[in-house]
Amino acid sequence: MIRVAIVDDEVLERKALCKIIREHLPEVEVVAEAGNGRKAVEIADNIEPDLMMMDIKMPGIDGIEAVRMIKQQHPNMKFIMVSAFDTFEYAKQVMQQGVKEYLLKPSRKEDVVAAIQRVCAEIAEEKRKEQENIELKEQVHRLQELVEREWLSVFMLEEFSEDHLEEWGQLLGLEIQSGFFLLFQFPNDEKKQEWQQWLKTTIAKKARMSYIIGKMMEGQVPVLLFSETKQDLNELKIYAQKFARVMIQLFQQKYIGKELYVGIGTPACEIYKLRDSYYEALVAVEYYASRRTVKSGFIPKHSQLIETNNVDMVEREKQLLEIVRQGDMKLAIERFQRYFQEVVVSKNAQLPAVVKVMEELFILLERMLHELGMTYERSHLFHLCQTMDELKGAAIKQLTHIVQHVQAWRNSQANGKLSKAKEYIATYYHRPLTLEEVAEYVELSPYYFSKLFKDRFGVTFIDYLTEIRIEKAKQEMLDQSKSLKEICFLVGYNDPNYFSRVFKKQTGLSPTEYRKKIHNAHL
């Protein structure tokens, strides 16, 4: 429905226009009437109609001045000007205000209807485009969130090259100079979507840093809070603790009787150290959720999850997880036995304490399997073990089953898919190709495809794609008729400066130097 206001100092004229609109324009509603320009300005501010039919000659503020004043606050409002004077000067003045329709009194019914229909069509088209823009922005926003979640999943475990990080930064429009991870552990029930939405809404209101929210798995959601400038690490620690407490308080106010736990990772000013922050947050949330006393915090120094050197223990667990992910049975059993012995010594051979460490280690292993896309449920409960030897045997047996599961899954998933991926890259290297696109093509998760690709070929996806593009660029340079800028676009880069940096990093020569070298060689 198009909303119209009629402004004319002649009551009969207003009534006549209302009658015409009511009888011939059912899609139009008259929402207000006024007899002078001052009231027209008030109507524009208070009611905001889509269209105003405005008389030019009125006492006080005339129609032309009223349009000028209204346009300052409501630039998209439409006007049809009405006048008993057919003068070029009036028409010129209203045209200067952007008014396209001009009716002479007395106006024929057909002319009034036609003028309103033309303006209504323009309004409808503008509204349609505005709605399309809103929907497009929403789609872009959802896509941005999706890409950020996928990036976060890969970032938490993947090793990024400098070029890869730079490309991701350009794609996502972010630069991470400092930050930390939080891991939220929600209640284990059926409200996963509700928890995720609450987290998204609440962080948007409360966070004073940029953030990326990851996927929920097993009730846990990782969140990276970061700044594009270097921040004081002690201040970040204080902020992380306060922020976690606020989130828990807000959650429990809304969901009475429900418990939320938050693990905090140590803040870092190097992007690569943020991966350690994630692991620390993961270990911390498992610690607090299992004890149900304190609800948030960093890894406590006295924690039975770790030894005195927190970072070393986290590092050993990461190494063991990586070996299991590789499916290396022999090395996994060997490393685990060493790890188990260190835990026994550190816990003074106290069986309950070692059982807790084993339970928490296998929670990490199971989470890793879920992140890889594998469904796996542990069959043995370690707290039933009566002796240290029984516990060790049960853990090794369980670890063996996990590694076998990984091996079988890797073989079934990888069969032929990496060759298919290479063919796809060779065909579409000239496009703005992404790891996610290729992973989707071969029907693997981006994280697993990235890991599998590096395992098989010894290089990351982005490094391999870079090698292909640079080799293609070398071939194109043999054609002297092609400019370097043209070659840059032909091999998949959209920034000649970035192409030049990558080319020199790969070959030791700039594109200009390389082309000169091969040209001289052919003389």
User: What pLDDT score was predicted for residue 143?
Assistant: 63
**What confidence score (pLDDT) does residue 160 get?**
54
Q: Note whether 452 and 358 are same-domain residues.
A: no
pLDDT of 263 reads 94
Do 404 and 424 sit in the same domain of this protein? no
Helix (H) or strand (E) holding 511: helix 511-521
Report whether 70 contacts 77 (CB < 8 A).
yes
Of residues 421, 396, 403, 406, the one with CA closest to residue 341: 396
Q: Are residues 306 and 292 in the same domain?
A: no
Mean pLDDT of 192-215: 91
Contact criterion met (CB below 8 Å) for 227 and 210: yes
Q: Are 28 and 115 contacting, i.e. CB atoms less than 8 angstroms apart?
A: no
Q: What is the pLDDT of residues 94-104, one digit of tens each?
A: 677 778 788 88
Same domain, 306 and 358: yes
> Which residues, 6 or more positions from 295, have their beta carbon under 8 angstroms from its beta carbon?
248, 259, 260, 261, 262, 288
Same structural domain, 80 and 66: yes
CATH number for 22:
3.40.50.2300
Residues 463 and 505 in one domain: yes
| 236 belongs to a structural domain | yes
Quick one: what percent of the chain has pLDDT higher than 90?
36
Contact 263, 185 (CB under 8 A): yes
Give me the pLDDT at residue 283, please: 79
Are 522 and 477 spatial neighbours (Cβ–Cβ below 8 Å)? Answer: no
Residue 144 lies in a domain: no
Inter-helix orientation angle 162-172/496-507, to 10°? 170
pLDDT tier for residue 305 given thresholds of 50, 70 and 90: very low
pLDDT over 80 at 491, yes or no: yes
| Cα three-residue angle 458-152-158, rounded to 5 degrees | 20
Residues 402-447 pLDDT 10s: 998 888 877 766 667 788 899 999 999 988 888 888 988 887 777 7
Report whether 152 contacts 210 (CB < 8 A).
no
- Single residue among 252, 276, 298 that ends a domain in this structure: 298
Domain co-membership, 290 together with 348: no
Average confidence score pLDDT of the chain = 84
* Residue 399 pLDDT: 92
pLDDT above 50: residue 308: no
71 within a domain of the structure (yes/no): yes
Half-sphere exposure of 167 (CA within 13 A, CB side): 23
pLDDT score for 144:
63
Nearest-5° angle of CA 223, CA 316, CA 398? 95
State the average pLDDT over residues 45-61: 91
Out of 286-290, 463-467, 490-494, least confident range:
286-290
Longest Cα separation, the chain: 105
Which of 60-69, 79-88, 310-319, 479-488 has the lowest average pLDDT? Answer: 310-319
pLDDT digits 0-9 by tens, 247-263: 999 999 999 989 999 99
pLDDT band at 4 (very low <50, low <70, confident <90, very high): very high
How sure is the predictor about 161, in pLDDT bands with cuts at 50, 70 and 90?
low
Average pLDDT over residues 67-85: 88
407 in the same domain as 333: yes
pLDDT in tens, 352-385: 888 988 988 888 888 777 766 677 676 667 888 8
Please indicate, yes or no, whether residues 53 and 8 belong to a single structural domain of this protein: yes
Residues 365 and 275 both lie in one domain: no
Helices (H) and strands (E) in the chain, counts: 20, 10
Question: Is residue 95 one of the residues assigned to a domain?
Answer: yes
Domain hosting residue 276, numbered range: 171-298
- Which pLDDT score is estimated for 309? 45
Q: Are residues 58 and 119 in the same domain?
A: yes
Query: Which CATH number do you get for residue 290?
Result: 3.30.70.270
pLDDT band of 182, cuts 50, 70, 90: very high
Buried-state track 406-434, b at ≥16 Cβ within 10 A, e below 16: beebbeebbeebbeebbeebeeebeeebb
Show Cβ contacts of residue 151 under 8 Å, excluding neighbours closer than 6 positions: 168, 172, 212
User: Please, which residues have CB within 8 angstroms of residue 397's CB and are 6 or more apart in sequence?
Assistant: 380
Q: Which residue has the higher pLDDT, 270 or 43?
A: 43
pLDDT of 5 strictly over 50: yes
Do the domain assignments include residue 134?
no
* Cα–Cα dist 362/402, whole Å: 10
Q: What is the mean pLDDT of residues 66-75?
A: 91
Count the domains in the chain: 4
Last residue of a domain, one of 388, 415, 442: 415
Alpha-carbon distance 116 to 417, whole Å?
A: 62
40-44's contacts with Cβ under 8 Å and 24+ in sequence apart are 40/5, 40/7, 40/66, 40/70, 41/66, 41/69, 41/70, 43/5, 43/7, 44/5, 44/70, 44/73, 44/74, 44/77
Answer whether residue 164 is part of any domain: no
Same domain for 319 and 410, yes or no, is yes
Residue 156 lies in a domain: no
The answer to whether 101 and 115 are in contact (CB under 8 A) is yes
Asked if residue 421 belongs to a domain, the reply is yes
Please tell me which residue, 458 or 469, carries the higher pLDDT value.
Answer: 469
Task: Give pLDDT, residue 84.
Answer: 77
* pLDDT tops 50 at residue 265: yes
Domain end marker among 298, 329, 348: 298
CATH code, domain carrying 500: 1.10.10.60
